Structure 1
Amino acid sequence: MSILQKYDYELLRSVGNNDIKKLREMIDTGVDINMKEYEKGTTPLHIAAARGNKQALELLVTRGADVNAQDNRGITPLHSLVTNRYDVLALWLIRHGANIHLADNNNFSAYDLAQGWFQKEMVAASEGKPVISQDLEERTSPMFQILSKPARETAVTIDNSEVVKIYYQQGNFKSIKISSTETARDICKRMAEKFNMTAYDKCFDMLEVVKNESRFFNANEPLLVSKAKWPIIVGTSGNETHLHCRFEIALRKSAPKEAQELFSRI
């Protein structure tokens, strides 16, 4: 089995197991998330849909998976969601561009399969209108709360939080979970708290090191947006990006002497 085939297999397995950590790692190595399984032509999104794996489905879609991909029988992920009565997931996928009228090789669309019990909601979702139904499952879920509002009011995004390492002096680091909206300024505040240096949080700067080249962040710049642009570095052990790219926090040289002394003892 070649390295590429191994990565494809690991990608499909991580989706099937809803292993989000592994799935994110595989995507970061640069595997094709729209790759098709040889015999059936199924994509990772087909597998996530067939099993109702919500987290895997969300991650794949937000990272660019083709929501209208068809397998060798012409079946789309939406066909699978409708057939298996994953109603809320189906509506969410429609909001993200799934075509309700795309037909399979037998000339049946997902809309046809729904017949009367779900068609009204599918049309509403495709038109960006609020979806309100007493028959839908998971009506209290965050995903359904998004669907119950017009698309223009929700601007649906998935908060892809990640656990990252923030390095400081002498190669030490602290692991923290950050959201996609947190800025360099936000992280400086959080790290200052971890250092018990809250009073000096404005004395810190965040920077990224990419292949030995350093760059300071602007205060309002989201860290994960920059991380998504890091080059993919594949070595003998797989994805080795983390060995060459990292976040660092630094105390400004203009910081008060007391702050410098505190930081030196961390």
Structure 2
Amino acid sequence: MKYLCIDPHGRLAAHTTKDHRVRPVVLDAIPAGAISSTRVQIDADLSALRVDERTVMTVANQYEAQVIGPRGYANNPQLARALALIRNRERLRFDPVDGYPVDFDDAGIIGHGLNGPIFPRIDPAVIGIIELVGEEKILLAKNSQRPEYYSLVAGYVEAGESFESAFIREAAEETGRTVHSLTYQGSQPWPATSSLMVGFHAFTAEVEPSLPTDGEIAHTVWLGAEEISQVPLPMPGSIAYRLIDGWVRTHRGGPLG
């Protein structure tokens, strides 16, 4: 069995390639002195461990690796799965139906209460490009909680919604604009919150907001393909970056940067 160490903030030791791929450091044994609280088996020969911050730093230094957080490895399915399953085991302590303590199988993935198996929870969310009709510009938004970069409109799917209706609602609530002509662009697990991000491309004819907003967005800006790289953007590897980069490639013939 090999081991992948993840600290309380979801960070791990890894190397990154020039094309932004993340290659984690996996160990043949649990590091000496590691304080490990949670273990889940990711596949036949790999387990993920929740360890203390010092252990992850020590591993990174020993293998000349970086310490990378969840936003940096969201495009790695194995790592996304590892963090999501660890978070699930840590959070699912009692059966949500009757409050009975939950026991887990040997892999640490499926919980068992009095009412049967309890599978890991996934929270669906939407994200997407909003393009201005006839102008070849897209709307980038700066979230009031994360003002250091511009990204895309995103939010969780509410009960009774389809993915499409959720994105239409989020666009209206966050930007005050009505969008239409949605097309599916792809998806990505988001391990930091155990979410599944579903990406769209939509259009609007509204340069300025026509509806009241919820205050979640601090600032929005319309930018063309030649202007986008001039503002701070989400990390490469995230679905937000991938959607923006894909749009730029289509309209400029080359990648971001």
Q: What is the TM-score when the length of structure 1 is the normalising length?
A: 0.32
From the CA coordinates, give the structure whose radius of gyration is larger: 1
The higher-RCO structure (CA 8 Å, 6+ apart) is 2
Q: What is the TM-score when the length of structure 2 is the normalising length?
A: 0.33
Q: Which has the higher helix share?
A: 1
